[in-house]
Amino acid sequence: MLEITRDVVVVGAGVAGTTAANELRRAGLSVAVLEARDRVGGRLWTDTIDGAMLEIGGQWVSSHQDALLQVIADLGLETSPRHRAGDSVYIGRDGVAARFSGDAFPVAQSTRAEMDAIMARLEELAAGVDPAAPWDAAHAAHLDEISFQQWLRGATSDREASDAIALVVAAALLTKPAHAFSLLQALQTAASVGGFANLVDADVILDRRVIGGLQQVPLLLAERLGDDVLLEQPVRALQWTDAGVSAVAATVTVHARWAVLAYPPVLHERLTFHPPLPRLQQQLHQHLSMGSAIKVHAVYDRPFWREQGLSGTAFSPYELVHAAYDNTNHGDAQGTLTGFVSDVNADELFRLEPAERRERILDSLARYFGAEAAEPVVYHESDWAAEEWTRGAFAASFDLGGLHRYGADLRTPVGPVHFAASDLAGIGFQHVDGAIRIGRDVAETIIERARS
Ligand code: FDA
């Protein structure tokens, strides 16, 4: 076993870990980054499948994500907008595919009015929530005791109105059923992107892509760290005292003054801590769970939907694929549709054989875009729940009641051990932007401690 000594050991070479490590190095501290996988990037992974470049994990960049936009510019990367010209498609309770433009679903006027009223109420509630400290909001405990679904159904008897709003937060973002998380968690999620108006507007939230793939961000950040990033080094044990830590990985042990654990909080149980983490941390980690989503990539010889005046954007609370987007690569002659299957629908599909799953998913895409959608030349399903070092998609959130009970301790260091991952972020929660912010915050805290 190789033994090395650094000021800081960072566990995980995703965006949060590589950001923290660069900031620490800039301040003159030495670092070693231990990464379990044989690649850098974690939940960012740009891969080529059957000749098609696909974003297996995170990819979209929003116009309000200043931290990420700044890093993209700093690394010299370029972005291109998501194709969105043309009509979108919505399938309502009646099962009919309806074309629409703008961000208001083409529902009955009464349903539209109900949705507007609920959204206004949610916006008002979200305005009172600091995304970095939702547990401090007025009536936080109460807001955290009620499920988002229960609140929505209490707010309206119009089932399509509540289903359509649940779609945006539950299926599309937290990727959990709306009965499984609280109203407070929904409000924090909205507050973390600047409010519900941003959350429901695909043009804001899914604005641009990095040309060549978003994984270049952590790859280039890791490149700056050179040999201090060690791959295929899953950390299995962390020994710690107030004086320092030793991280024991596959073939290397790093002794350091501080540690940054930069992976989703559901993975803490994969490490043995000596001594164990304090009881509060052990408890709180049990109340966080990953969402679950299948990201589907269907590549066609051309973006055929554009010929029909369709944008490639589609939504339905009642379809297996609850949302789809034109995800054609910049400058590519082939056309790509990316769809998402979330939570209980994903569970159901994973019980099927791959061929049947593919058929069900493509049938769903065809209900939005016509029969041609069922005949892709390349087809791939991103399956992050099967990944040992992630265990779900897109990220972790608290179960009902957990946010106000444990949230305040989520980012509290334990002796020399600090925590960083997009799942713990305030602004940018569950997003790459949040991973950058929390990586910077943790580095800043350690730099202050090093100077004091
Ligand atoms: P991340 O999980 O990326 O990194 C943690 C690293 O730690 C991993 O490399 C892992 O292997 C490593 N690790 C874990 N345990 C270890 C151990 N014991 N020892 C050593 N290493 C260990 N976001 C966004 O902004 N726009 C988007 O469009 C999307 N879309 C999206 C789609 C899909 C399918 C997914 C899965 C996710 C997204 N996201 C997203 C979310 C985004 O990808 C995510 O929030 C960040 O990439 C998380 O970065 P972190 O560095 O926090 O964790």
Taking the centre of ligand 1 as the mean of its atom positions, its distance from the CA of residue 268, in whole angstroms, is 14
- When the pLDDT of each residue in the chain is averaged and rounded to a whole number, the result is 97
Q: Which amino acid is at 23?
A: E
| H helix intervals, 316-429 | 343-350, 354-369, 402-406
Decide if pLDDT at 171 tops 90: no
Q: Which pLDDT score, from 0 to 100, does residue 185 have?
A: 98
34 CA → ligand 1 middle, Å: 15
pTM value is: 0.98
pLDDT at 301 over 90: yes
395 lines ligand 1 (CB under 6 A): yes
Q: What is the pLDDT of residue 203?
A: 83
**C-beta neighbour count of 66 within 10 angstroms:** 14
Q: Is the pLDDT of residue 278 over 90?
A: yes
SS3 assignment, position 160:
helix
Atom of ligand 1 nearest to the CA of 34: 20
Q: Is 16 in the pocket of ligand 1 (CB under 6 A)?
A: yes
Ligand 1 near 234 CB (within 6 A): yes
Ligand 1 atom closest to Cα of residue 39: 9
Q: How far is the CA of 140 from the centre of ligand 1 (A)?
A: 28
Q: Which atom of ligand 1 is nearest to the CA of 41?
A: 9
Average pLDDT over residues 104-114: 96
* Mean pLDDT, range 321-349, rounded to an integer: 98
Verify whether ligand 1 is closer than 6 Å to residue 289 (CB atom).
no
| pLDDT value for 201 | 84
pLDDT tens digits, residue range 402-422?
Answer: 999 999 999 999 999 999 999
Atom 30, ligand 1: which residue's CA is nearest? 58
- pLDDT tier at 205, thresholds 50, 70, 90: confident
Q: Which atom of ligand 1 is nearest to the CA of 382?
A: 34
pLDDT at 102 over 90: no
* Residue 160 scores a pLDDT above 90: yes
HEC string of 183-246 equals HHHHHHHHHCCCCHHHHHCHHHHCCEEECCCCCHHHHHHHHHHHHHEECCCCCCEEEEECCEEE
* Ligand 1 close to Cβ of residue 14 (< 6 A): yes
pLDDT at 202 over 90: no
pLDDT at residue 175, as a whole number: 98
Q: Is the CB of 422 under 6 A from ligand 1?
A: yes
pLDDT of residue 66: 96
CA separation for the pair 1, 239 (Å, rounded): 16
Give residue for tokens 């559901």.
266
Among 43, 65, 175, which residue has the most ligand 1 atoms within 8 Å of its CB, making it the best to mutate? 43
